[in-house]
Structure 1
């Protein structure tokens, strides 16, 4: 089964093509951004379950960049040790692990929020302060310091959160960027972040980006738009993780595999290693998409929340030795 075959990106070999999608757990206990015992158990369980690639949830580069007060952070050196404990255990069980570093911008539910714009996300959200150049530089430097800490924690990769209408997307998308300064070209903000991150994160490791391949708005990004941008960074970006939506509170009619066409276009237009998904509950759908060239790896979210050991249903020969007495008893 192709989904369970290894894939190598640069110097990193993933034992299979299953990625755990970054999903906020809202489980920080003291609003300090520090990982807890829950985070440890949550991620290590998926490593024991055979997942080849685990992407840690949205982890903020600054306190006001959190989606919520209960989110993880990488804005302080105190965050490193608890994350390293998770990374080391995940590695012990044969998985690779990355961290999604992010800034929520106007979608943050904290205080003193900022954005590319001064227009709130919705009438239920606070009005953001439009960033000036000094504020932008502070955020860019924060991404670099988060990358340094991610490397100290031992992560195999960093994922820049450029999807779902968060700050990078707020600069990239014409829906939220009507600036008149040099950052009217939102790719400049992304370029500065990438360059700053690569000052601190080893080039032999993986740098990837998550994008909303389609934003469900006439002014929004399309997969062709993102492909054009990504082609300018192909010497720096190794993997693209394709999602959709989030720039506005617009309902989306989702269904199993609804985002795969966007992944296919981006893969074809860029040639980058591409991860796709979206409401995929049946691994055979992911298998078919990999076989037909739509993507190289598949991400699973809700599937791994409810079935952390679903990989063993595909091949019970992969069961860890502690669980071998269950071989032949797992329903398929």
Structure 2
């Protein structure tokens, strides 16, 4: 056997390494895309914007975000409506969600996913009430993880806004009795006879189904469904699970006196109206292992024209003061982050839409925490450029920014914001040739 020479052995720096322990080969990018590169090698990173500083979330789970930019859940209305594939994610979802992970988002959250068939907003929404749906989630979570991003999912039930159509459908050409927004039983694959709510109050009598007031037995059934779906999400590989308590869906239906007029232990007082959401959070917290983080998305206000209280001091709608109380209770349960949004529970809402219009709610909730209660807060709502996002963090209004539509317009948002802020972040090795302008040292630009 002849002695091997150096020429016989390729240097380790020319070996195209793959991502370790991955289900398929993919070239390794170190550090992972979206991570700010070392200031020792890249002088422009010596004063790193907060937006590109890492953040660890959770006392137990210790979820590590490589930057402060996360992808909000976005309904795609792209699952099969009926049969064994109902609610099952498809290659569309893999490509849709995977592109954000490839391009540097710190966390990518799967769209609002229903724990029960009748909790879907539309018949084509995502579900997690069976194992087939969980099996379809696993390769998506695996792919997100391979890019160094955190795989996450939002679980919920749509309440009185379920059995509706995908938003782009033009119902003016459809024969009666199909109303605008309503997915009727039969051809539209709806379930208008099984829409649930805290009370029999429709979101809008003309365009939405009439819900049935949930029985106590159905509330227990719902909690069991959240437990089972949480277990499936964990087995599929989720590292963050978020409860959807926003936008006029079932949890926010129960929170608000506008939609909840029950007279039992789940209605009336603020304590009673918060009861279901806190019980569901407790169920989820007890179900997840310590390395999985529990988050909660909340509509901090429903923008009721008459305000949060009447002249007698009684709560008449859901707003920021009740939200502060709820968030403190959620912290006691073990929630690691509050994802602050607003609106969606009433067509009477009066929203003044402008850049960052929801940031003040995140700021108010964040500042309401004591040092012992303090957990990170995410903000959403018309955040459209890197400087604006950085200023929100610098002002202390939020710890994380969460985007949806801006990611749809610009999947490379993370890389583009890095360039906008004058710093260098890692990009996939496959894409580096397209980012030579960002990945050039100041001294090289002078030469």
Superposed pair shares fold, TM > 0.5:
yes
Question: Which of 236, 240, 244 lines up with 1:153 in the alignment?
Answer: 236
Q: Distance in 1 between matches of 2:81 and 2:302?
A: 34
Larger radius of gyration: 2
Whether the 8 Å CA contact 1:224–1:269 is kept in 2: the answer is: no
Corresponding residue for residue 145 of structure 2: 91
Whether the 8 Å CA contact 1:224–1:265 is kept in 2: the answer is: no
Structure 1 length-normalised TM: 0.96
Q: Distance in 1 between matches of 2:415 and 2:379?
A: 21
Corresponding residue for residue 254 of structure 2: 171
Question: Which of 67, 75, 78 lines up with 1:16 in the alignment?
Answer: 67
Corresponding residue for residue 402 of structure 2: 299
Corresponding residue for residue 321 of structure 1: 429
Q: Distance in 1 between matches of 2:81 and 2:299?
A: 31
Of stretches 181-190 and 311-320 in structure 1, the one that deviates more from structure 2 is 311-320
Of stretches 24-33 and 257-266 in structure 1, the one that deviates more from structure 2 is 24-33
Structure 2 length-normalised TM: 0.72
1:178-257 matches, within 5 Å, as 178-184=261-267, 185-217=272-304, 218=307, 219-235=316-332, 236-249=334-347, 250=349, 252-257=351-356
Question: Which of 51, 58, 62 lines up with 1:3 in the alignment?
Answer: 51
User: What SS class does the counterpart of residue 8 from structure 1 fall into?
Assistant: strand
Q: Distance in 2 between matches of 1:321 and 1:72?
A: 32
User: What SS class does the counterpart of residue 142 from structure 2 fall into?
Assistant: helix
User: What SS class does the counterpart of residue 266 from structure 2 fall into?
Assistant: helix
1:49-198 matches, within 5 Å, as 49-109=103-163, 110-111=190-191, 112-122=194-204, 123-184=206-267, 185-198=272-285
User: What SS class does the counterpart of residue 113 from structure 2 fall into?
Assistant: strand
Q: Distance in 2 between matches of 1:329 and 1:252?
A: 41
Structure 2 residue 406 is matched with structure 1 residue 309: no
Whether the 8 Å CA contact 1:273–1:296 is kept in 2: the answer is: yes
Segments of structure 1 that go 5 or more residues without pairing to the other structure are none
Provide Cα deviations, 1:75-125, integer angstroms capped at 9, x if missing partner.
Answer: 111111110100000000010021100100100024110100101110211
Corresponding residue for residue 285 of structure 1: 388
Number of corresponding residues: 330
Whether the 8 Å CA contact 1:213–1:222 is kept in 2: the answer is: yes
1:40-55 matches, within 5 Å, as 40-55=94-109
Q: CA deviation at 1:129?
A: 0.6
Q: Distance in 2 between matches of 1:38 and 1:53?
A: 19
Query: Which aligned segments of 4 or more residues in structure 1 are displaced greater than 3 angstroms?
Result: none
Whether the 8 Å CA contact 1:317–1:327 is kept in 2: the answer is: no
Of stretches 195-204 and 179-188 in structure 1, the one that deviates more from structure 2 is 195-204
Q: CA deviation at 1:317?
A: 4.0
Provide Cα deviations, 1:266-315, integer angstroms capped at 9, x if missing partner.
Answer: 01112221000201111211111111110000011111001101211224
Q: Distance in 1 between matches of 2:340 and 2:50?
A: 20
Q: Distance in 1 between matches of 2:114 and 2:200?
A: 21
Segments of structure 2 that go 5 or more residues without pairing to the other structure are 1-48, 164-189, 308-315, 439-447
